[in-house]
Amino acid sequence: MTMKKVILFGGTGKLGRRVAIELQRQKYDVTAVVRNHDKAAQLKNIVNQTIVADVCKAEELKNICNGFDIIVSTLGKSVSPKDNSKPSFMKVDMKTNCNILREGISASVKKFVYVSAFGAENNLNLNYFRAHHIFSEKLKCSGMNYSIIKPPAIFSSFVDLMEMAKKGRLLTLGAGDKLTNPIYEGDLAEICVNSIVDENVVIEAGGKNVYTRKQINDLIQQHVKPGQRVMKMPIGLLSFGVSLIKLFDSNAYDKFAFYLEVMRHDLIALKMGETSLEKYLSEKLYLE
């Protein structure tokens, strides 16, 4: 039986790397699109081959999907404050994925698996969510078989919080009482790959445990530097600061507006993950 050929976008990210591993485990022939040869080296022992291309440049995507059966995209602009890349959420998460979709349709690709964001349709005033929602709707209308996977958050998105905790700078905004169930990227990768055989599905996938935002911060602090106090900040103070940021840096504003929004609402998806945040934190610190 011939292995189905998958082209993977976003494969060097924390989730994308886990997806690449899971695709290989399930015996797919995997090609990852990477930005440069250094990125290609990171995936050397994980994928069958790589293609070097700047995905934000439409001309470098020309015919890139030819010969593939399946597209998997975990591609998206990072929400980490450390990410200083210039392209916006609308450019990366929406427009670039639209360009990939166009190439996929032209190449008669049969399936597109896309990782979106839980609750995107409820927050269209924010570019992070709006970009994900617009592309998801375009994918649904494309005629291509799709899987749209929508996690509330993945565990690796808390790495920045771990670094803050080590320095005694971890903050809980407001009461920290809003609930969410983030999912381990390894569990989410399995859900993504398993969905390849599904027909036109939207899967809202969360972890097995629900936490308040305060509980997440307390867990991180306990694992990283026990005894250190987690500081508190009035949410109104951050809201004021975010409004000022908008005047100077639209990318930074989009990120901090996203942080502010998720702190104000419960984000609880179907409990599908098997790994707990406690286990993830313990294993990550052990590996370090």
* Domains parsed from the chain with CATH numbers: 5-155+182-206 (3.40.50.720), 211-287 (no CATH)
The C-alpha atoms of residue 13 and residue 232 are separated, in whole angstroms, by 31
* pLDDT of 288 strictly over 60: no
Pick the more confident residue, 247 or 264: 264
| Contact between residue 20 and residue 11 where contact means Cβ atoms under 8 Å apart | yes
Q: At what angle do helices 185-194 and 14-25 cross, to 10 degrees?
A: 50
Q: pTM for the whole thing?
A: 0.94
* Mean pLDDT of the region 91-100: 96
Residue with tokens 């509980």: 215
State residue 85's pLDDT score.
82
* pLDDT tens per residue, range 97-108: 999 999 999 999
Q: pLDDT (tens digit, 9 = 90+) per residue, 175-208?
A: 999 999 999 999 999 999 999 999 999 999 999 9
Return the pLDDT at 1. Answer: 57
DSSP label of 144? S
Distance CA 64, CA 211 (A): 41
